[in-house]
Structures are given as structure tokens and as C-alpha cells.
Amino acid sequence: MVAKRKWILVLLIVILAGCSSTRIVSEVQLIHSLGLDLEDQKMKGAAITHIYGKEKTQVELLETKSSNLFTILPDFNAITPSQVELGQLRSVIVGRKYAENGVETLVHTLCRDPAIGFRLQLAVAEPKALTILKGMRHMQVPFFISDSVAQNIKTLNMPKTNLHIFLFHLYGEGRDPYLPYFVMHNDRVKLDGVALFRDDKFVHRIHSKESFLLKIMVEKAKSGQIPFEVTINNRKESGLLKNLHSHAVFDLKTTKPIPSIMVKLMVNGQIKDYSKWLQLSNPQVLHQMEKELSSYLQMEATSFVKHLQKLEVDPVGFGDFVRSRSTSWNYSHFKKIYPQIKIAVTASIKLEQTGE
């Protein structure tokens, strides 16, 4: 009986080993970044790949045109001597025109592929994805998009984003998705703000200041910075407020006939560089600076929220918040009344580590 079990075990090992699919890295081309553009109702695809040589590894740019999204990968295989694989795909960037026409089919395709992880970074390019990938090839940095987004999430004003988060925002009623926005600047690829979507279509790009405001509204942030200009003792002072820790508290005042929402922003911040005359070591001056900065942040955040309502986009998730507090919530109705919703914003800033 023992001998029989041993032979069965050996047979299973042989069968399982025979079912495995082996890929040798030097015999395949791994796509690290994929770019998609829409030109004359046709799909234009581009991809950053590695070619592994005996002496050094090179970054190559592949380009192809296709009638639809689903034939892009076979078309890449038709122009390469090695099989193209998506197992190391780190980012997908789409041109602005592509994004304006909707990305739902794309994200459906990506999330159905078991070789693609949900931490994949999606992004929008201006004017074209191909332009951004050419810049990446020139810099010889195949992971620039994913690494740049990760760095800006950790240290600057980019809210957390990836394929998983995008899908949650796209299909969760009461919120709209957003993505990083890339441009070319002085022959270098640059992360330049956040692309806002209405459903699956790109509608507007916000810059760094607005990205900071979005970040502190949608997450408990421990990074980010915003320029400011305030008046202290009848003298103007400008500088940079660095966020050390922040969170937002939402309160629903009423739901009928039009919802009324209160948003309270609380920020622990730091100002390192400021004029010598501004004595922040003085408790009275420090308190006045906190008060002025709070008023400034409140004004900027209020203006930002009104701008979102005018655009009829809801990346903050006000609709989702109202839904969670209402027993008679209807998404179609909410979208109609969203521009008229009363959203009041207050801000409270406490300064720490002033450098004195």
C-alpha cells in the first residue's frame, strides 16, 4: 500500500510539471507600459518593452495600428521576433482624445486578463500616449509612469489611484473616477495634475493646487503641499504649506428637497521657508498665521467644490456620502440636483515644526 501511494505521488508530480507553462525572460518581450491613442476612428497602440541582450538590456518602443482594442496584442506579436507578454505590465496610458471617448471597454479588457494585476497604474496623456512613451524611451526609463505616480502619491499631491481604485469609482454609484495626467515638458515626461472623469469619459484636468484639495478630501493624507498668500500685520506673506497629516469630516445637514453637506478639513501642517520678519516663535503671530491659512484653505476648497459642481463631476464622492445617509436615494435624481447641492467647507490648520 505504501509503495502504491509513492507511485501515485510521483505520477501526480510528473503530470503537474508537464502542465506548467515556462517562459524564459530572454525569449519573450515583456511590455512594461502600454499606450493607446484614437486616430481617424482607429486604434493606435504603442508599448515600452525590454530587449535582453548578452551585454546590456535596451528599452524598445513598439508601434502598431489596429481596427479595435482586442487585436493590439496580436499585432505587436506580428512585428516582434519574440512573443509579447503582459505579465510585467505596470502602466497603461491613453491619449486625451481616447479618454474623451470613454475607457470602459479598456478597463473591462484589463480586469479580465489574469496576467494583469489590479495595482496597474492608468493615466491620461496630452496630447497623445505615443508622445509620452517616446519620451520614456528617450529617457530609457520603462517604469517612469508607475514610479512617478507612486512617488507623487507618497510625497506630493496625487491622490491614491490604480486600476482597482478606478474600477471602484467607475462602478460605485455616487462618485466619479480620476487618473494621473501626463504631459511633455522640456523634452521630459511630467506628471501635471489629475484627469477628472464623468462616468468613463474624461472631461477636465485639474492642476497641482486642486489636486492637493482633492487629496485631503478623499483620504487621510500624510503628504502634499499647497502655495499660499496671506496678509499678516498688514504685510503680505507667501510660501508653501506642507501637509503632515490631514483628514476630512463630512456631515449631512438635510436631504430634502436639496441635500446640504458640511465638510470640515483639518490639517496639521508645516511652513519651513518664510520671511525673517514673520516671528512664528511668537504664539500670537503663530495663532494669527494659523487663522489666516485656515481662511485661505477654506476659500480655495469652497471654490474648488463649486467648480466640480459646475463641471458635474463628483470625484470626492458626495453622492456616495448622501447615499450612505439616505433611505430614499436615487442616483439619476442625485446627478440632476448635484450642481444645486449646498456644500459648505470649513478648514482648520494647526502649524507644527515651524523651524524655530
Average pLDDT, rounded, for the chain:
89
Give the span between the Cα atoms of 185 and 18, in whole angstroms: 51
Beta carbons within 10 angstroms of residue 279's beta carbon: 13
- Among 311, 302, 312, 305, smallest CA distance to 334 is for 312
Q: What is the pLDDT of residue 26?
A: 53
Confidence of residue 196 (pLDDT cuts 50, 70, 90): very high
Average pLDDT of span 232-258? 90
Average pLDDT of span 311-329? 93
- Cβ proximity of 205 and 182 under 8 Å: no
Q: What is the pLDDT of residue 3?
A: 59
Average pLDDT of span 45-67? 81
Give the span between the Cα atoms of 218 and 57, in whole angstroms: 41
pLDDT of 20 above 50:
no
Confidence of residue 4 (pLDDT cuts 50, 70, 90): low
pLDDT of 325 above 60:
yes
Name the more confident of 216 and 142: 216
Confidence of residue 52 (pLDDT cuts 50, 70, 90): low
Name the more confident of 116 and 134: 134
Give the largest Cα separation in the chain, rounded: 95
pLDDT of 295 above 60:
yes
The three-point CA angle 129-130-131 to 5° equals 90
Average pLDDT of span 94-121? 92
pLDDT of 261 above 60:
yes
- Decide: residue 84, CB within 10 A, 0-12 exposed, 13-18 middle, 19+ buried: buried
Q: What is the pLDDT of residue 79?
A: 86
Beta carbons within 10 angstroms of residue 77's beta carbon: 16
DSSP secondary structure, 30-97, as one string = EEEEEEEEEETTEEEEEEEEEEE-SS-EEEEEEEEEESSGGGHHHHHHHT-SSEEE-TT--EEEEEHH
Give the span between the Cα atoms of 352 and 333, in whole angstroms: 44
Name the more confident of 40 and 337: 337
pLDDT of 225 above 70:
yes
Lowest mean pLDDT among 135-149, 215-229, 277-291: 277-291
